[in-house]
Amino acid sequence: MISAEKIPNNVELSSNKRLMRALEHWQPKYLQWWRDMGPQGFQDYHQVYVRTATSVDPEGWAHFEFVRLPEYRWGIFLAEPRPDRRIGFGDLFGRPVWQEVPGEFRNQLRRLIVTQGDTEPASVEQQRWLGQRCPSLYDLRNLFQVNVEEGRHLWAMVYLLHSYFGRDGRDEAEELLERQSGNRDKPRILAAFNQPIENWLDFFMFTMFTDRDGKSQLMSLSESSLDPLSRTTRFMLTEEAHHMFVGETGVARILERTCELMREAGFSEDVRRVGGIDIPTIQKHLNQWFSLSLDLHGGEVSSNAASYFANGLKGRAKEETFDDHLVKEAVYHLEFIEDGRPVTRDVLMRNAMNEVLRDWYVGDCSAGVERWNRILEQHEIPVRLRLPDRKFNRHIGMYAGLHFDPEGRPVAADEWERRKSEWLPTPGDSAYLLSLMAQPVYERGKFANYIAPPRRGINQQPIDFEYVRTEA
C-alpha cells in the first residue's frame, strides 16, 4: 500500500486516488527493475548514507539517513508554483501557462517527457557494476546517491505521464522500465545512454559532461509552458548539481593524484608504471564523453526544435536573459561543411535552437575544464586538458559521417582510422583502467592509489566515515 510516508511528495498524493492507483500498479515493477538493473551486489546487505528529499525547502531536501537501497523513499516533488506565470517564448508568448496538456501539443510533449525519462533509468543501468570496482566508501556512497536520484527523476517523469497523458502515459511509463541500456532489441532512446560505463574514469566524465547535458536540457524544459513540467524539472535541477559535483571533483582528484605520482616518479616516467592514470588517458575519456554529450543536444538544424520553441514547449536555458522571445526573424551563423570545406551560412534561429543550447553547454563545460587545468598549473605540469572541437567524433547532426581531429580540422577516413587511438579510449586503455579497479576499496578512510581523497566529507562527516555499512 502506497502512503505519503513511503512516497514523500508535495502533489497531494493521498487525495489523488487515480494517481495512487496508477502508481500502485507501477511501483512494484519499478522495484523489480531496480533489483535487476540497479547497483549489483548492493541491494540487501548494505546501508548507505544518502540524502532523501522529503520536501522542496532547503531543509527538506537535505535529509540524510542510512538506508538499504531498495528501501529508498523515492518521492514526487514539484518546485513551488510561480504566481501568474506566463508563457515566456514562442508564438503564444505572454498568455497564461497551462496546467493541463493542450490536445494539439500532446504528442510533442509526451515525446519530450519520454525522452527525458528514458535517460534516468538508463544511467542507473550503465553504472550498475561500478560498486564492485569502487575507489573508496566515500565514492561508493556518491555513486549510490546519484543512482537513487536518477531513480527519483524517473519517478518525476512517470508522475507527469500518469497524471497528464492517460492511457498512453501509463503505457509509456511501463516501457521506460522495459527498454535497457545497450540492449540490441530494446535500446535506450539516446545514443550516449547505450554506451557502457565500465570504469570510474568513465563515471566521473559521464557525471561531468552527460549530467551537464541533463542540466542544460532540464533548464530548457523548466521554461516550458506546461507548468507541471516546468516545476518538476526545476526541482530536478537542484539534485543535478550534486551529480556534476561528483564528476568534476572526481576527475579533479584523479588529476591531483596523477600530478603527485608524476612528481614522485620523476616527471619523465610513465605514470602507469606507478599505478596512476596518465593525462593522455584522461584527455581521451574527456574527448569521448564530451562528444557523446554534444550529440545529446540533437541536430544543428532541427525542425523539431523550431516547433518545440514556436509552441512554447521547450525554451532556451535562462530564457529571461534574452531580449527577443519570439525569435521570428533572427538568424544564426552556422558552420556547414561543403566539399570538405567550412562555409558559414545563416539559418533561422528557431531552426538552430539545439545549437543555441549547445553553445550554452560548451561554455559551461569549458569553465569546468579551466578549473581542472588549475590543478595542473599548481603542480607546474605544462600540459593542459582541452575540450575537443564540437565537430570531433559526432554521430548526430550535420558533422556525423565526416571526420575531424580534436582541433576541428577535417581528416580523411583512413587517417581517422589510423589516429583515432590517439584521441579516443582504446581497448588497451579500458583494460588498464579495469586492472587498476579490479580490487575495490571498502576500507574506511582508504582510497585507491589512482585518486586523491576529497577535501571534505559528505554532510560534514569526516572523510573516514563509514558511508556504506555492510550488515553482518
Is 189:115 a contact under the CB 8 Å cutoff?
yes
Helix, coil or strand: residue 129: coil
Q: Which of 246, 354, 376, 390 binds ligand BYC (CB under 6 A)?
A: 354
**In the structure grid, which three cell numbers stand for residue 340, read together?**
570538405
Name the residue with cell 554529450: 293
Least Å distance, CB 88 to ligand BYC, is: 17
* Cα–Cα distance measured from residue 110 to residue 234, given in angstroms and rounded to the nearest whole number: 18
250 binds ligand BYC per the rule CB under 6 A: no
108 binds ligand BYC per the rule CB under 6 A: no
SS percent in the chain: helix, strand, coil, step 5? 55, 10, 40
**In the structure grid, which three cell numbers stand for residue 420, read together?**
583515432
* Cα–Cα distance measured from residue 322 to residue 389, given in angstroms and rounded to the nearest whole number: 26
Q: Which residues contact 307 (CB under 8 A, 6 or more apart)?
A: 108
Name the residue with cell 570510474: 200
Scanning residues 378 to 437, which ones bind ligand BYC (CB under 6 A)?
A: 396
**In the structure grid, which three cell numbers stand for residue 87, read together?**
508563457
Name the residue with cell 566515500: 138
Residue 290 or 447: the one with the smaller Cβ distance to ligand BYC is 290
Q: Which of 75, 88, 169, 298 binds ligand BYC (CB under 6 A)?
A: 298
142 binds ligand BYC per the rule CB under 6 A: no
Residue 76 or 271: the one with the smaller Cβ distance to ligand BYC is 76
Helix, coil or strand: residue 198: coil
Scanning residues 304 to 323, which ones bind ligand BYC (CB under 6 A)?
A: 304-305, 314
123 binds ligand BYC per the rule CB under 6 A: yes
Residue 279 or 296: the one with the smaller Cβ distance to ligand BYC is 296
352 binds ligand BYC per the rule CB under 6 A: no
Residue 146 or 376: the one with the smaller Cβ distance to ligand BYC is 146
Q: Which residues contact 96 (CB under 8 A, 6 or more apart)?
A: 84, 85, 86, 87
Q: Which of 61, 74, 99 is nearest to 158 (CA)?
A: 74
150 binds ligand BYC per the rule CB under 6 A: yes
119 binds ligand BYC per the rule CB under 6 A: yes
Q: Which of 13, 134, 246, 296 binds ligand BYC (CB under 6 A)?
A: 296
Per-residue contact string for residues 189-218; x = within reach of ligand BYC by CB under 6 A: -xx------------------xx-xx--x-
Least Å distance, CB 215 to ligand BYC, is: 8
Least Å distance, CB 204 to ligand BYC, is: 13
Q: Taking phi first (over 0 means left), then psi (-120 to 50 degrees means alpha), and beta for anything else, what does residue 397 get?
A: left
DSSP string, 47-63: EEEEEE--SSSTTTT-E
Q: Taking phi first (over 0 means left), then psi (-120 to 50 degrees means alpha), and beta for anything else, what does residue 318 get?
A: left
Least Å distance, CB 423 to ligand BYC, is: 20
Least Å distance, CB 471 to ligand BYC, is: 29
Q: How many residues bind ligand BYC (CB under 6 A)?
A: 25
Part of the chain binding ligand BYC (CB under 6 A), chosen from 57-65, 83-91, 161-169, 297-305: 297-305
Residues near ligand BYC (CB under 6 A): 112, 115-116, 119-120, 123, 150, 190-191, 210-211, 213-214, 217, 295-299, 302, 304-305, 314, 354, 396
